[in-house]
Amino acid sequence: MMTRTRKITARLALGFALLTVAMVQHAYAADENSERQFVLANVEFALLHEIAHVLIWELKLPVFGREEDAADNIATIALMMTYQQTGAPMLDSLQAVADGWKLEWQLVADDEIEHAYWDLHTLEIQRYYNISCLVYGADPANRTQILEVTGLPTERAEFCQEEYNTAQQAMQWLFNQHSGTQKSSENSSRVHLVYDANPTLDGKKLDSWLRSSQIPERLAQMLDTRFDLPRDITISFARCKDPNASWDSNTSTITFCYSLMNRFLYLAREVASARATSVDGGSWNDAAYTGEPRR
Ligand SMILES: [Zn+2]
């Protein structure tokens, strides 16, 4: 039978040895606040990406093109909407998500592992540029720093506003066509959160970040109240070997592996380390942008 499990990534080739060694190496450079922000932004994106698969499958949304790209676009637009509502540092968090993909691409290259050109997913470096393009396209007049930091060339950048508008309109269509009845989630909860124990290295810290963020609870409630889902959905935080997140329509379960959070923590430390030793680690954030050209 054809598998119906949709994962967020094909990054399985990257090993745990690398993960553990690097985590020890960079322990000295820990800046907990930025690490927490980086990890949680990536957790939220990954959850939203899987929730997008849920919506596509359960509501039978029309998808022309690759489902994985659609899921990334839904997650990026949803993340921008969420940050606008909560007042969270939007550009920093979206950059954390984009940077995560760029770093994954670089790590594959560093390990001399062949890139998964055949994969369901768009290549990591393309996911980086796609997210950058949507975020820039949402407000091109005020986000030129994103072009500078990412190196997104004019050939693509001139279409980013259109790409954003198309994705935004599709999102609006989704809400208009499939909006739930704003029911009380206590009465008819369709979305269930399950937390397994997290025994991983750094598991205690990651667990406290996850639980205090209330991100899973907020997203579960959003899914529950904004959409009329035809059946129950489980979001399960679980111990599994590979760092991944996936949607399995056979069991109607999103599985989020704790090891993916460890992976994000590792990436956070790598990004911090790269920025500390490089002059080209610019920020997307308006406030941090001086207008001075960066080398
Ligand atoms: Zn996916």
pLDDT of residue 2: 40
The 10s digit of each residue's pLDDT in 232-284 is: 999 999 999 899 999 999 999 999 999 999 999 999 999 988 888 776 678 89
Protein residues placing their CB within 5 Å of the ion ligand 1: 6, 68, 71
Count CB neighbours of 166 within 10 A.
14
Residue 153 domain flag: yes
Question: Cβ contacts of residue 157 below 8 Å, gap of 6+?
Answer: 133, 136, 140, 147
Q: Which domain holds residue 220?
A: 30-277
Q: How many residues does the chain have?
A: 295
pTM: 0.88
pLDDT of residue 41: 97
CA 126–ligand 1 middle distance (angstroms): 15
Q: Has residue 162 got a pLDDT over 90?
A: yes
Residue 223 domain flag: yes
The 10s digit of each residue's pLDDT in 128-152 is: 999 999 999 999 999 999 999 999 9
Residue 269 domain flag: yes
pLDDT of residue 276: 80
CA 123–ligand 1 middle distance (angstroms): 12
pLDDT of residue 294: 39
Residue 227: beta bridge partners? 179
Q: Measured between alpha carbons, how far is 278 from 14 in angstroms, rounded to an integer? A: 24
Give 28 or 87, the one with higher predicted confidence.
87
Cα angle value 253/256/261 (rounded, 5°)? 175
pLDDT of residue 3: 41
Residue 5 domain flag: no
Total domains in the chain come to 1
Amino acid in position 256: F
Of the pLDDT bands very low, low, confident and very high (cuts 50, 70, 90), residue 287 is low
CA 187–ligand 1 middle distance (angstroms): 30
Main-chain dihedrals φ then ψ at residue 5, nearest 5 degrees: -90, 125
Share of the chain above pLDDT 90, in %: 70
Residue 200 domain flag: yes
Residue 247 domain flag: yes
Residue 203 domain flag: yes
The 10s digit of each residue's pLDDT in 164-222 is: 999 999 999 999 998 876 565 455 689 999 999 999 889 999 999 999 999 999 999 99
Pair 149, 136: CB distance under 8 Å: no
Q: Angle 32-58/258-277 helices, nearest 10 degrees?
A: 130
Give 154 or 20, the one with higher predicted confidence.
154
CA 31–ligand 1 middle distance (angstroms): 30
Give 4 or 43, the one with higher predicted confidence.
43
pLDDT of residue 184: 53
Residue 96 domain flag: yes
